[in-house]
Amino acid sequence: MAARAIWKGVVKIGTLSVPVKLYSAVQDRKVHFRLLHKTDHEPVKQRLVSSDTGDEVEYQSVRKAFPITRGRMVMLESEELEKLEPEDSRDIEVTRFVEPSEIDHRWYDRAYYLGPDGDQKGYFAAAAALESKGKQGVARWVMRDKEYVGALVAEDGYLVLITLRHADEIIAADALKPPGGRELAQRELDMAEQLLSSLSGKFDPAEYRDEYRARVMELVEAKSKGHKPKVVAFRPKKQKDDQLADALEASLAGMKKPAKRRASG
């Protein structure tokens, strides 16, 4: 199925304007269920109910409120919130270019592909220039009444726009309390390094799938064909409360066994 654009904009870099179409680079593959009544199997609906009287409340009678302290909230009208919404715009304004190392993985949120919207020459020229410089652009834009900040990057000759989290959403590592206890022995450090070396390799996304979703879909397929499969619950193996060195030794021994089998085969 061909990708379908979900939004149109214009990448603006100084006096350069590049019309683009925005495509989602990820898709939701979570398991979603419909809620049915147990007896007649008809879909059920959620209703708004007053926590005081238990009576049903029409949506038109609902107002938004923001809690500021325990038991105290500020009422907000829809008209007031509408006035605070950002002004509609199609501009994706690149404000600066930075080294990729300046934006670490904690900031990345959601990725979108940008495709050319008419001016292909200008689009591919911008992608080639960005890729040759090895930089990332920091951009701002408004999409569907929401302000975004993102990283504009080049990948395989195309432009990719990745939304970034805001500064107040990121928790600094120094906010974590360092663990207590004794210092690690040199033997434990050496074995930990050996374990890391034995597991070194290339990342293959195909090796990591949503096992729960796969089990659910197998169950759905079987039941849709009239089968009654036996569902075996997933139970992780219990971990013994051993010493760190013993656990590392066991891990290293387990890594060596497959290697011996491959050598003998």
List the domain boundaries for the chain: 7-27+85-168, 186-197+208-234+243-264
- The 8-class DSSP code of residue 49 comes to B
The sign of the dihedral angle between the CA atoms of 71, 76, 81, 82 is: positive
Tell me what percent of the residues of the chain surpass a pLDDT of 70. 86
Question: How distant, in Å, are the alpha carbons of 1, 182, 186, 196 from that of 189?
Answer: 51, 13, 5, 11
Q: Is 142 helix (H, G, I), strand (E, B) or coil?
A: strand
**Mind listing the pLDDT tens digit for each residue in 170-214?**
998 888 887 777 888 888 888 888 888 888 889 888 888 889 999
Q: CA–CA separation, 38 vs 200, rounded Å?
A: 50
CATH number for 7-27+85-168: choose from 3.40.640.10, 2.30.30.30, 3.40.50.880, 2.40.290.10: 2.40.290.10
The confidence score (pLDDT) of residue 265 equals 52
Q: Identify the band that residue 238 occupies on the pLDDT scale cut at 50, 70 and 90.
A: low
For residue 135, pLDDT over 60 is answered with yes
* pTM reported for the whole predicted model: 0.76
Mean pLDDT of the chain: 87
pLDDT of residue 226: 87
- CA separation, residue 43 to residues 30, 34, 35, 36, 40 (Å): 20, 7, 6, 4, 9
Q: Which amino acid is at 151?
A: A
pLDDT of residue 82: 94
